[in-house]
């Protein structure tokens, strides 16, 4: 099977996928696709409980929400209905809504189509939960990043404290476990490593160390 010039980076919440995917995109000079941002934006626009709408209504509402990678002054960015996606999607509440809406097959199908369309017109570093398994099975390089919930909660706490915000490691670990359970146990496109992915346990590695492992795998060559 012919491969696509796509690097997939999957893994659970808070594992550092975005940081690594952005760094990898810079190294490759390929656009970065944050598919979590697509689920978050859709969840926010559709509102709480949308995952329980009748299929036809949900499909019609999803159809109205279009995503595209477009050149902004600051490189290629993800746009929704002509607007650049901002920080309004970056709350734990929206993350949970995104995880819930991501259990719905109608929503997943609609976003998969949009993601594949972007992958057809451009090389990509695509980050998410099901990039290597479902959306881009023909990706040239596949990575799966992992770390224990405790390590991920501690990292998240440090980030929040560094920004001057309060953080309770126990509460964050609980949110992470809850989101892991939703993402891993849904019947459609559950979070798991693709069989042909390189699994990296980032628990005891710095960002630079993980990037070095990934770059050396890319330099060694992917699948034909």
Residue 172: how many CA atoms within 13 Å on its side-chain side? 21
Binding mask 40-79 for ligand DC (x = CB under 6 A): x---------------------------------------
Sheet holding 124-128, edge to edge: 32-34, 124-128, 4-10, 139-146, 198-201
Q: Binding marks (x or -) toward ligand DC, 108..147, rule CB under 6 A?
A: --------------------xxx-----------------
Which position has the token pair 């146990």? Answer: 185
Strand partners, 67: 80
- Tell me the residue nearest to ligand DC as measured from the CB: 36
**Residue reference for tokens 């440090």:** 158
Q: By CB under 6 A, what part of segment 4-23 binds ligand DC? A: 13
Q: How far is the CB of 107 from ligand DC (least distance, A)?
A: 9
Of the residues 61, 140, 152, 179, which one makes contact with ligand DC according to CB under 6 A: 179
Cβ atoms of residues 127 and 34 within 8 Å: yes
Closest CB to ligand DC among residues 35, 202: 35
Query: Distance between CA atoms of 29 and 153, rounded to whole angstroms?
Result: 31
The count of residues interacting with ligand DC (CB under 6 A) is: 14
Q: Is 35 exposed, middle or buried (0-12, 13-18, 19+ CB in 10 A)?
A: buried
99 binds ligand DC (CB under 6 A): yes
Find the helix or strand (DSSP H, E) in which 83 lies: strand 83-84
CB-nearer residue toward ligand DC: 53 or 99 = 99
Q: Which residues bind ligand DC (CB under 6 A)?
A: 13, 35-36, 39-40, 95, 98-99, 102, 128-130, 179, 183
């Amino acid at each position: 099977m012919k491969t696509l010039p796509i690097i997939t980076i999957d893994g659970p919440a808070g594992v550092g996928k975005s940081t690594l995917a952005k760094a990898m995109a810079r190294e490759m000079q390929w656009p970065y696709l944050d598919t979590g941002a697509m689920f978050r934006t859709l969840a926010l626009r559709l509102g709480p409980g949308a995952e329980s709408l009748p299929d036809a209504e949900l499909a019609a509402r999803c159809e109205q929400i279009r995503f595209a990678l477009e050149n902004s002054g600051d490189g290629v960015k993800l746009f929704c209905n002509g607007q650049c996606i901002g920080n309004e999607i970056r709350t734990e509440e929206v993350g949970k809504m995104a995880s819930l809406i991501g259990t719905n097959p109608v929503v997943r199908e609609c976003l998969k189509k949009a993601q594949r369309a972007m992958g057809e017109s451009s090389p990509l570093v695509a980050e998410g939960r099901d990039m290597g398994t479902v959306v881009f099975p023909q990706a040239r390089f596949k990575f799966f990043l992992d770390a224990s919930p405790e390590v991920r909660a501690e990292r998240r706490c440090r980030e929040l404290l560094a920004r001057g915000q309060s953080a309770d490691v126990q509460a964050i670990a609980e949110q992470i476990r809850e989101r892991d359970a939703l993402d891993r146990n849904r019947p459609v496109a559950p979070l798991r490593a693709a069989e042909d992915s390189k699994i990296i346990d980032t628990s005891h590695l710095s960002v630079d160390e993980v990037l070095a492992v990934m770059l050396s795998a890319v330099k060694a060559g992917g699948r034909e």
